[in-house]
Amino acid sequence: MIRKTLMKKAVIISFLIIASCSNRKEINQVAEISCGQCQFEIKEPMGCDLAIRVDNRTYFIDGANIDDFGDAHDKNKGFCNIVRKATVVGVFKDGRFKASSIKLIDKK
């Protein structure tokens, strides 16, 4: 009886350890940031939305808006017209990037 109880506890602890290891880790790196539709040619959804490109893959961003960094359609520095560099912190989840921090590093 005691052996079965210990075995059940070991299985539960093992499951919890495995489940906690499967969570994606937060990244902190430099990435390209711009309008997903205008610069990265993401087809859906329509409209101008902030996106990042990491390792030649693009992801829409949750946690920041395209106009949080100025007018997205500004000819010289708007995300719909140019690709900029930023240090991004966050996690990839459900095909999107959940940003906890975005800091532009270019001098536009």
Domain of 37: which CATH number? 2.40.50
User: How confident is the model at residue 6, as a pLDDT?
Assistant: 56
16 in a domain, yes or no?
A: no
Per-residue pLDDT of the chain (108 residues; tens, 9 = 90+): 666 665 566 556 655 455 454 456 898 999 999 999 999 998 887 889 999 999 899 999 999 999 999 999 999 999 999 999 999 999 999 999 999 999 999 765
Q: Is 54 within 8 Å of 95 (Cβ atoms)? A: no
| Residue 21 domain-assigned (yes or no) | no
Task: Examine residue 10 and state whether it is found in any structural domain, yes or no.
Answer: no
pLDDT of amino acid 7 = 59
Say what the pLDDT of residue 22 is: 46
Q: How many angstroms separate the CA atoms of 91 and 35, rounded?
A: 19
**81 within some domain:** yes
Does some domain include residue 8? no
pLDDT of residue 106: 73
With respect to residue 11, please indicate whether it lies within any of the assigned structural domains: no
- b/e map of 4-37 (b: 16 or more CB within 10 Å)? eeeeeeeeeeeeeeeeeeeeeeeeeeebbbbbbb
Residue 60 CB neighbour total at 10 angstroms: 16
- Cα–Cα distance measured from residue 53 to residue 34, given in angstroms and rounded to the nearest whole number: 8
pTM for this prediction = 0.72
- Which residue range(s) make up the domain with 62? 26-104
User: Looking at residue 77, what is its pLDDT?
Assistant: 92
Residue 104 corresponds to which amino acid? L
Domain tally for the chain? 1
In-domain check, residue 5: no
Closest to 62 measured CA to CA, from 52, 54, 72, 47: 52
